[in-house]
Amino acid sequence: MERTYYGLSQMAVRDCLRDAAIGIKDVDAVVYGIYNDIFEMAAIPEHPLQGIIGMTNKPGIRVTNGGATGAYAMHCAYAWVASGLYDTVMVLGVERATDCFDFESMTETPEVIKTIGWSGDTFFERELGWTASDSYAEVVLAYMDDHPEDLKPEISAKISEILCQQAKHNPFAQRRDEVVTAEMAMNSRYVVYPFKLLEMCVYSEGAGALIFASEEKAKAIARNNGKAPIWIAGVGASNEHSVAGPDYTRHKYMGRIWSDHIAAEKAYAMAGITKPVQEIQVVELHDAFIKQLQITMGEMGFVPIGRTDALVEEGIMTPGGKVLVNPSGGLTFGGHFVGGSNIFSTWSARREMLERGFARGLIHGTGSTVSQYGVVFVLERS
Amino acid sequence: MAGEKVQKVIPEHMIPPVASEIVERGGERYLQSNEAMFTFYKRTKGEFSKYFLGLRDEMKIWGVRCPKCGIVRVPPFQLMCPDCDFCDLKWVEMPHTGVMNSTPPITYFAHSLFQSWVPFGRGRVVLEGAGTALPVHVFTTKGVLTPFIFKKGTPVKVVFRTERFGKPTDIFAVPLAELSEAQKKKSPLMETDLDFSAPVEPKVGAATGAAKASYAKALDLLKELAVGVTKSPRAQHNLAGWTRRIAVRTSSGDFGLVIAEGRLSVTDKTPTGTPDLVMVADDPQLFVDWLTFKEALTNAIIAGKLWISLNREFTTIFKLDRLPRSVARDRG
């Protein structure tokens, strides 16, 4: 209510520049992550931002890739810097989902779901009632067909509780004051089977900004602001087919999230990682749905596919476990302001790496129908 | 035609009036207004026209076969095979039976365009001979759709709607096991060939001592909830603009719930006249469980413990499900 996406953008840019201790004149180019034109009620929603964030007469590009918009915006910024085209690039992710309003139920949520519903295949699927939730549920249910012993209800409920507790330490978590126990999550109502209300992300509004810089510039910024730079050691991305079929190399195999698997594989190869559970200390994972979080952790090699309940049963992500997963509270408790969500995740991983001295972190983004898009970054601390 | 009701691309009841209002937050005043972003289309189905005309006029399902690799894709979502140097594909007529590609999701909370369908299933059927899966609605002829009727590999048959528009909704799938031999053989099978009998309100059993105690406890908790709603802005927001008279029958007695003007009221008797919704539960304990955060009403319906008279009233169930949590959150 208090801010439009213009105002949210200015707030994020101001705070990002202050943290980096640079001025906007030091930034060569900007990449905007804004998912859905309909949320912002504007085609080309980034155009009014260029001037008000102080980037007049500089290059700017807008990225929109479903839920993975923020991660793909970062992917673009990385490529711009790595190619040597620009030295310092800002990524600005922003979204205002809840201006959408359903005048029948007099609530925002159904209209937000409807807006995202325009993202489904418009010829063959949308008119069947396609939603983001039922689309991801298809993947999870197909995974459960293949692995009926995994994804036990009490495990996803426990993960929801863990994320809720972790959100208490994040000043920007939008559901920081909420208390969700495993029992409450377990007993919350189904939205789309097998997804329960307290085991899924909440669409929201917000903005986040990051600075991507060349090695020389990053070191200069670090000298200036006194904070160690975080290096991008690995990048991977993959988009699957959108139509279902048994062969994942030709179509979407519904029981897996190959996009996450392939993206992680590429990022690990680039970063020289062979045992992620031993080599990565903090993961900020795009938890659109808790059960999807579990499968994605399997696809990224932290637990075996078919045994993702080990995340809790073997204490891998429970407090004090081998990997700190979503210390921000994730999108479930942090809030899912789509274009900015992966940027928010990156902010959190960087914070944990700086404050706790972790050597490596991982950022993940997922999006589009049937978890079609996957992006993974491996981060390293100096 | 004069007097004929014309269906609009945007249903008129969804269109809000031109209006604006001031909302106060943190001592500041903010202006918000009712707006819409709309675009009308005359959109071509282009290369997919044969497929959609097949559904609408021929009651046939067309797929495309690659002459090089042999894969048959249904729906025919492309003209050329990208795996075989973009060679042209050949149209093939498909059988109407196949198996579920995977367990289909069932939507309980839908947005306004699809709210009247809930609960509904959107699955993918691999028709015999196909190498991809066809997205379709899945239905059962046996009552409320629950998650365990369809799963990966369930044999199904595609059924054609009586009214067809050249859209994906012209067809749906039902379990083959629910069909008679004659229905299995008939092609095309029409929705009028199926028996979707109106669900009959179940009778409640005899009350046990435990159930009587649960009934009393449920009524007490419901009355507490009604008071809580009067003090909870979140709960009042949940109920805003909603009016329903609900009759609830249990083995230990009936009661009524009335939603009006952002409030909930509870009566020891069912409302007079025809209620908007009837709920039937043998064991009133499920209402205690709902109000003590042990099981949502939605989940009780899915589990078969609670019967409701109208699928479309799931929207009311969702509003009720939100109330205990909203009241608790505002209580702090």
pLDDT per residue as tens digits for the range A121-134: 999 999 999 999 99
Pick the residue of B122, B239, B297, B323 with the most A CBs within 10 A to test the interface with A by mutation: B122
- The residues, any chain, with a CB within 8 Å of residue A128's CB and separated by 6 or more, are B122, B135, B136, B137, B168, B169
CA dihedral (B42, B45, B50, B54) positive or negative: negative
Beta carbons of A105 and B242 less than 8 Å apart = yes
- Compare all CA atoms of chain A with the CA of B31 and give the residue at the minimum distance: A1
A124–B168 CB contact, under 8 Å: yes
Q: Is the pLDDT of residue A194 over 80?
A: yes
Question: What is the distance between the alpha carbons of residues B318 and A191, in angstroms, rounded to a whole number?
Answer: 9
Residue A54 covered by a domain: yes
Which residue is associated with the tokens 């031999």?
B181
Alpha-carbon gap: A197 to the closest alpha carbon of chain B (Å)? 10
pLDDT at B197 over 80: no
Residues 122-181 of A with CB under 8 A from B: 123-125, 127-131, 133-135, 137-138, 141-142, 144-145, 178
Q: Give Dmax over CA atoms of chain A in angstroms.
A: 57
Radius of gyration of chain B (CA): 25
Task: Find the Cα–Cα–Cα–Cα dihedral B216, B218, B224, B230, rounded to 10°.
Answer: -130
Query: What domains sit in chain B, N to C, each tagged with a CATH number?
Result: 46-193 (no CATH), 209-331 (3.30.1050.10)
Least confident range of A225-229, B118-122, B145-149, B277-281: B145-149
Is residue A179 a part of any domain in this protein?
no
Q: How many CB atoms lie within 10 A of CB A101?
A: 17
> Which residues of A are less than 8 Å from B131 in CB distance?
245-247, 251
Of the candidate ranges A77-81, A201-205, A267-271, B151-155, the one whose mean pLDDT is the lowest:
A201-205
Q: Which of B18, B20, B100, B124 would best serve as a mutation to test chain A binding (most A beta carbons within 10 A)?
A: B124
Q: Long-range pairs for A213-222 at CB < 8 Å and ≥24 separation?
A: A213/A81, A213/A87, A213/A88, A213/A89, A214/A81, A214/A84, A214/A87, A214/A88, A216/A87, A217/A87, A217/A88, A221/A20, A221/A21, A221/A22, A222/A382
Contact B329 A129 (CB under 8 A): no
Tell whether A15 is covered by a domain. Answer: yes
The reply to whether A46 falls in a domain is: yes
Q: Given A102, A106, A121, which is nearest B111 (Cβ)?
A: A102
- The range of the structural domain enclosing residue A93 comes to 5-97
Residue A72 lies in a domain: yes
Given a cut of 50, is residue B261 above it in pLDDT?
yes
Residue from B20, B109, B118, B154 whose CB has the most chain A CBs within 10 Å, to mutate? B109
CA-wise closest residue to A143 among A285, A242, A257, A309 = A257
Whether residues B124 and A244 touch (CB distance < 8 A) is answered with: yes
Within-domain flag for A22? yes
Answer whether A184 sits within 8 Å of B293, measured CB to CB: yes
Q: How confident is the model at residue A303 (pLDDT cuts 50, 70, 90)?
A: very high
Q: pLDDT > 70: what percent of chain B?
A: 97
Number of domains comprising chain A: 1
Tell me if A66 sits within 8 A of A368, measured CB to CB. Answer: yes
CB contact under 8 Å between A189 and B318, yes or no, is yes
Testing the interface with B: which of A38, A146, A189, A239 to mutate, by most B Cβ within 10 A? A189
Mean of pLDDT over chain B? 92
Task: Tell me which chain A residues have a C-beta less than 8 angstroms from the C-beta of B28.
Answer: 2
Nearest to B294 among A1, A187, A197 (CB): A187
Distance of CA B319 to the CA centre of its chain: 15
Please, are residues A317 and A325 in contact by the beta-carbon 8 Å criterion?
Answer: yes
Lowest-confidence range among A67-76, A276-285, B236-245?
B236-245
DSSP for A209-269, written as a single string:
EEEEE-HHHHHHHHHHH----EEEEEEEEEE--SSB-S-TTTSB-TT--HHHHHHHHHHHH
What rounded mean pLDDT belongs to chain A? 96
Q: Which residues of B touch A101 (CB under 8 A)?
A: 34
Nearest CB among A141, A190, A192 relative to B299 is that of: A190
Instruction: Answer for the pair B287, B222: CB distance below 8 angstroms, yes or no.
Output: yes
What burial letters (b/e) apply to B134-155, b meaning 16+ CB within 10 Å?
Answer: bbbbbbeeeebbbbebbbbebb
Q: What is the pLDDT of residues A58-92, one digit of tens each?
A: 999 999 999 999 999 999 999 999 999 999 999 99
Mutating which of A106, A126, A128 best tests the B interface, going by the most B Cβ atoms within 10 A?
A128
- Residue B108's pLDDT is 78
Among A130, A186, A190, the strongest candidate for a mutation testing the B interface, having the largest count of B CBs within 10 A, is A190
Mean pLDDT in residue range A319-332: 97
Other beta carbons within 10 Å of B167 = 16
Interatomic CA distance for residues B229 and A148, integer angstroms: 41
Interface of A with B in 60-99 (CB under 8 A): none
Which distant-in-sequence residues (6+ apart) come within 8 Å of A2 by Cβ? B25, B26, B28, B30
For A189, the closest of B14, B104, B298 (CB atoms) is B298
> Which chain B residues are Cβ-neighbours of A129 within 8 angstroms?
107, 110, 113-114, 117, 120, 122, 137
Of B48, B77, B106, the CB nearest to A243: B77
Please indicate, yes or no, if residue A69 is contained in any of the structural domains: yes
How many A×B Cβ pairs under 8 Å? 169
Q: Which positions 218-257 of A are in contact with B (Cβ < 8 Å)?
A: 243-247, 250-251, 254-255
CB A12 within 8 A of CB A70: no
What SS3 class is residue B102? coil
Q: B109 and A141 in contact by Cβ < 8 A?
A: no
CB contact under 8 A, A142 and B103: yes
Q: Which of B14, B101, B137 sits opposite A244 (nearest CB)?
A: B101
Instruction: Establish if A80 belongs to a structural domain.
Output: yes
Query: Is residue B7 packed enough to be buried (19+ CB in 10 Å), middle (13-18) or exposed (0-12)?
Result: exposed
Which pLDDT band, with edges at 50, 70 and 90, does B1 fall under? very low
Query: Helix (H, G, I), strand (E, B), or coil: what is residue A65?
Result: strand
Backbone angles phi, psi at B27, to 5 degrees: 80, 0
Compute the distance between CA of residue B162 and CA of residue B156 in angstroms, rounded to an integer. 19
Q: Which residue has the higher pLDDT, B117 or A209?
A: A209
Nearest to A294 by CA among A323, A271, A267: A323
Name the more confident of B115 and A247. Answer: A247
Minimal Cα–Cα distance from A244 to chain B, Å?
Answer: 5
Q: Is B108 within 8 Å of A191 when comparing Cβ atoms? A: yes
- CA of A82 vs chain B CAs: smallest distance (Å): 32
Say which CATH number the domain at A15 has.
Answer: 3.40.47.10
d(CA A296, CA A313): 17
For residue B198, the model assigns a pLDDT of 63
Query: Taking phi first (over 0 means left), then psi (-120 to 50 degrees means alpha), and beta for anything else, what does residue B289 get?
Result: alpha
Please indicate whether, in this complex, the C-beta atoms of B73 and A145 are within 8 angstroms of each other. no
- Check residue B199 and give its pLDDT: 65
Q: Which of B124, B240, B295 sits opposite A187 (nearest CB)?
A: B295
Question: pLDDT class for A147, splitting at 50, 70, 90?
Answer: very high
Mean pLDDT of A286-292: 97
A279 in contact with B, Cβ within 8 Å = no
**Lowest pLDDT segment from A18-22, A54-58, A276-280, B320-324:** B320-324
Q: How many CB atoms lie within 10 A of CB A221?
A: 19
Give the per-residue pLDDT at A106: 81
Q: What ipTM was predicted for this assembly?
A: 0.92
> With 80 as the cut, is the pLDDT of residue B279 above it?
yes
DSSP H or E segment with residue B123: strand B120-127
